[in-house]
Chain A
Amino acid sequence: MRRHLKKTILSISAVAVFSTGLAANSWATTDIQWWHAMGGVNGERVNKIAESFNASQDEFKIVPVYKGNYTETMTAAIASFRAKKHPHIVQVFEVGTATMMAAKGAVYPVEEMMADSGIKLDKSAFLPAVISYYQTADGELLSMPFNSSTPVLWYNKDAFVKAGVTEVPKTWPEVFAASKKLVAAGYKGGFSFGWQSWVMIENYSAWHNIPMGTKENGFAGLDTQFTFNNKNVTDILSSIAKGQQDNLFLYGGRRGDSLPMFINQEVGMWINSSAYYGGIKKQAKFDFGQTMLPYSPDVINKPQNSIIGGATLWVLKGHAKEDYKGVSQFMNYLSSPEVQAWWHQETGYVPITKAAYELSKKEGFYEKNPGTDTAIKQLSLNTPTPNSKGVRFGNFVQVRDIINEEMEAIWNGSKTATEAMDDAVRRGDKLLRKFEKANR
């Protein structure tokens, strides 16, 4: 019995010694947790960025952790915050912005953090269309832009030749005309799109300089209301629904679900994020191009600018002050021209700083890959107006679901465009009021 006890005490102390050893080891560098939503190839690129930052200094160690898709990552971060086990940095997609902004006690604004850590942040170096989405009304930058994209019109050059489409469409009537030729040439359909709320409501409105909601699309206050059931929006949606009868438009599902239709050459045009560049390049067995979004000439003579999608990095409060110095250094590293230009060229996301854009130009990237500067040109086509600097609505993840549902009701013929958009606005406003109440 006594021998047994002795043995136990020995092993306990061994464990204790061992674990202090471990702890002492980890004091050498401070771990910074970074939760992100970049799976697959982009996940490897994220790891590469972290590795090269870690190699550049020996005080901090960035630990990137993949937490699933955007919604899963955001939910995981929020749940972990409630349990006080949250990461330092979390990647949140643009529709989560209003939710993150409202969480004042949880979020450490990037601009404030950089100032506290004594690292200079030059906001004028960033593209206005990118950072305006993430600034407060007073211009304070809340989160660090990381991966931003914007919808563009992807087209199949071979199909255009086969169908006799000589000019790349610039306007919606031209898109329909080209679609007719494609269908006549034997293609199953003319065009399709994904992320339909982002592409056809949010960006269509910004591109035509019309508001999607009151109060500067929600930037100027929580008491905002939706207005996207206006005639300009319902007109384009009804003409698309009408075009469905002749297969000019084929609906292929939410998010990126319709990509295979473009890859398999069922449709000749596809409107979706510029960030599909890597994927299309890898899979398409035809010559493809990208061009700016089409506009409706009866709504606007010249398009305004499109708005971004993608995600930014938010910093969460509640860690040691010293840690945030590391976070600031990392943010600084991340927005350096070299890292940004590399990230942009590899992924198709837009460069977030002017310097990164210039660097890519100098390296001859756009000459070797024509069309890859479409997104950035489109975002900076004009100085953003209150209608085109972005959208900031509460509960917007759910609102997008509502818009998806109502648009699907148009595509399957159960509602007219006007009915569907009226319903979407009515249901969306309810969620806005709920958000207003919870964040008063």
Chain B
Amino acid sequence: MIKRTHFKSSPLPYLLVAPQILITVAFFIWPASQAVYQSMLLEDPFGLKSEFIWFENYVLLFSDEIYFSTFLRTVVFSSLVAFLSLSIALLLAATADHVVRGTRTYRTLLIWPYAVAPVVAGTIWMFIFDPTLGIVSYFLHGIGYEWNHRLNGNQAMALIVLAATWKQISYNFLFFLAGMQAIPKSLIEAAAIDGAGPARRFWTIIFPLISPTTFFLMVMNIVYAFFETLGIVHAVTKGGPAKATEILVYKVFNDGFIGLDLGGSAAQSVILMLIVITLTVIQFRYIERKVEY
């Protein structure tokens, strides 16, 4: 007789994971599969006539030279936003970590922008930089620099990078600061006694120890730049001038909700989904190895 431990199967574990699975199915699997299905349809906006056309929407998309340049633009935009917001937040957090008096005020002020909705953030920056009415463009004009983001694509790109970065700094700041405060003071003091200066202490002790936070934030920031910046682009430039600020997620919105081309828009959103999944997988497989927990 074979001796084995026999567990009585119980429905309890299934019940416990059921809510999680239900939520995933309802909010991810179901809409995602709808998007995939929609991306293979040619349909009028009202949904009165629809034809299944397999991958024709994708073929059309990839035969469009503009789609490729939108893709490159998105890469530039996202890397700039992620890099800038991470490094500025890191700098601010490192400084805040040293502040002794008025810490609370300082932190609260830094966290505020996170509570601002993307569209509002975009509108604020649009007003500041408005070529005719804006205060900054007025000063720039005073020092002999012509600011007109309605015509100059690079200026328009700079403006949305600025707005998107500004909004994300608070979020990054919070996590960096929490990460830094979790580092035992004794470690840093020991290094100080050994004669390490502030810069050296930061790069050899603090920076490696907060690497899990940095890694997590990097993933979050890329996802933010890819998806959540839609409101900013819509409020500030609407993708113009001459497509200079049209990033992938804005094109999805514009073709689908403004142009009412649902099939083409769905095809783009499927591609966008694949890009982000791939990016996340790469980050977890290769970069995470360098992270010390």
Taking beta carbons and an 8 Å cutoff, which residues of A are in contact with B?
A: 71, 74-75, 78, 81-82, 99, 102-106, 251-254, 257, 260-261, 264, 266, 395, 397-398, 401, 404-406, 408-409, 411-412, 414, 427, 430, 434, 437-439
Contact = CB atoms under 8 A, between A and B. Distances in A.
7 contacts: A78-B260, A103-B48, A260-B132, A264-B132, A397-B259, A398-B261, A439-B49
Contacts of A261: 132
Given A106-B46, A438-B42, A406 B259 contact: no
A258 B178 CA distance: 46
A106 B48 contact: yes
Contact of A405 (B44, B46, B243): B243
Contact of A254 (B133, B240, B243): B240
Interface residues on B, range: 20 to 34
A398 B258 contact: yes
Given A78-B260, A398-B255, A408 B43 contact: no
A117 to B, nearest CB: 23
Interface of B: 42-49, 51, 60, 66, 130-133, 150-153, 238, 240-243, 254-255, 257-261, 264
Nearest 6 A/B pairs, CB to CB: A398-B259, A408-B242, A253-B150, A408-B241, A409-B242, A103-B46
Contacts of B49: 438-439
Nearest to A414: B242
Contact of A82 (B46, B254, B264): B46
- Majority secondary structure of chain A interface residues (helix, strand, loop or mixed): helix
Contacts of B132: 252, 260-261, 264, 266
Given A251-B151, A260-B133, A397-B260, A408 B46 contact: no
Given A260-B133, A405-B243, A412-B152, 15 more contacts: A71-B257, A75-B260, A81-B47, A99-B45, A102-B44, A104-B48, A252-B150, A254-B238, A398-B255, A405-B240, A409-B242, A411-B151, A434-B264, A437-B42, A438-B49
B253 to A, nearest CB: 11
A105 B49 CA distance: 10
Most A Cβ at <10 Å: residue of B45, B48, B152: B45
A252 B131 contact: yes
Nearest to B57: A434
B150 A71 contact: no
A249 to B, nearest CB: 11
B258 A408 contact: no
Most A Cβ at <10 Å: residue of B46, B131, B133, B153: B46
Given A106-B48, A411-B151, A438-B49, A75 B258 contact: yes
A397 B260 CA distance: 9
A408 B261 contact: no
Contact of B151 (A82, A408, A434): A408
A408 B148 CA distance: 12
Contacts of B254: 401
A378 B282 CA distance: 62
Given A397-B259, A401-B258, A438 B44 contact: yes
Given A257-B150, A412-B152, A405 B260 contact: no
A143 B131 CA distance: 39
Contacts of A414: 242
Contacts of A439: 44, 49
B240 A404 contact: yes
A413 to B, nearest CB: 9
A134 to B, nearest CB: 18
